[in-house]
């Protein structure tokens, strides 16, 4: 019951925000008529392009094919970035010396725009899935690292002292106390990182691999295929919202069983 209530509380704002996004879309096009119907497409135009138009089947097929490529790129990079963030955050929490040595370097790298780093990444890792994975992992890694570190450091000091009193090491305290107590931070990092992973995949495909939605959207502009462009934007936005919601649902279920409020009605 707790998980159901938490899920509903999580999904309700997302539904409201999605409806508000549609309103903003329509208001924007009406507020800026200079955009024109040739470039600015309404929700009705996108619906016709994807579902009710004479060539909707072909349009959907092309977008879905590119979407699968983008999801593959984003999922691999997301997994790599989150895993790396969890491992590095654990090392930093256990060893202050390592954190003081490498954390400034990590923050310095984070300040470099991904677009500026892309040529170097492509040169080193190539234009295939490896290069895109690195770009996505970079986008995911840094925010997740900070959030997970905060969660790990918020572990109850009394529980860690108890582990130490029984001869447990810092790694034992990390595994038995810090990681379970950091579950909310880990899920929060995952929720924030899901849209970031998709954005990183789009950038990587645009500047690197030349495949997926990131590439097809850029190619649609010089071909004046604005229906395709707007439809692709809508599809990737909907997918991002859905994935964000899915992570939130898993978060509600996991925290209801293993979180600080587990077992409470």
Write the pLDDT tens digit of every residue in 22-31.
889 889 888 8
137 within domain boundaries: yes
Task: Give the mean pLDDT of 80-100.
Answer: 89
27 within domain boundaries: no
pLDDT confidence of residue 104 = 83
User: Residues of the chain with pLDDT > 90: what percent?
Assistant: 23
pLDDT confidence of residue 263 = 45
132 within domain boundaries: yes
175 Cα distance to chain centroid? 26
pLDDT confidence of residue 32 = 86
CB burial of residue 237 (10 Å; 0-12, 13-18, 19+) = middle
CATH number of the domain to which 221 belongs: 1.10.3720.10
129 within domain boundaries: yes
Per mean pLDDT, which range of 15-19, 140-144, 202-206 is the poorest?
A: 15-19
Residue 264 in this model has a pLDDT that exceeds 90: no
Element (H, E) at 214: helix 212-220
40 within domain boundaries: no
pLDDT confidence of residue 97 = 86
pLDDT in tens, 147-163: 999 888 887 778 777 77
200 within domain boundaries: yes
pLDDT confidence of residue 181 = 81
What's the total number of domains in the chain?
1
Range of the domain at 103: 63-247
217 within domain boundaries: yes
Q: By C-alpha distance, which of 90, 99, 69 is closest to 217?
A: 69
49 within domain boundaries: no
Alpha-helical segments (H) within 95-182: 96-110, 114-125, 129-153, 157-165, 170-173, 179-181
């Amino acid at each position: 019951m707790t998980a159901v209530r938490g899920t509903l509380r999580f999904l309700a704002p997302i539904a409201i925000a999605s409806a508000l996004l549609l309103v903003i879309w329509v208001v924007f096009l009406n507020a800026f008529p200079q955009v024109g119907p040739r470039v600015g497409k309404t929700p009705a135009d996108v619906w016709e392009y994807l579902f009710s138009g004479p060539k909707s089947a072909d349009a959907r097929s092309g977008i879905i094919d590119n979407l699968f490529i983008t999801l593959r790129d984003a999922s691999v990079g997301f997994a790599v970035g989150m895993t790396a963030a969890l491992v590095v955050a654990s090392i930093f929490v256990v060893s202050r010396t390592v954190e003081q040595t490498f954390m400034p370097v990590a923050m310095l790298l984070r300040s470099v725009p991904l677009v500026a780093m892309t040529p170097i990444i492509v040169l080193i890792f190539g234009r295939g899935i490896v290069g895109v994975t690195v770009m996505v992992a970079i986008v995911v890694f840094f925010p997740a690292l900070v959030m997970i570190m905060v969660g790990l450091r918020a572990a109850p000091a009394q529980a860690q002292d108890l582990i130490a009193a029984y001869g447990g090491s810092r790694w034992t305290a990390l595994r038995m106390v810090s990681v379970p107590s950091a579950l909310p931070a880990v899920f929060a990092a995952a929720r924030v990182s899901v849209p970031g992973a998709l954005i990183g995949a789009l950038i990587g495909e645009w500047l690197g691999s030349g495949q997926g939605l990131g590439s097809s959207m850029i190619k649609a502009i010089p071909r004046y295929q604005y229906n395709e462009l707007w439809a692709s934007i809508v599809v990737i936005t909907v997918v991002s919202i859905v994935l964000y919601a899915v992570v939130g649902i898993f978060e509600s279920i996991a925290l209801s069983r293993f979180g600080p409020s587990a077992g409470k009605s």
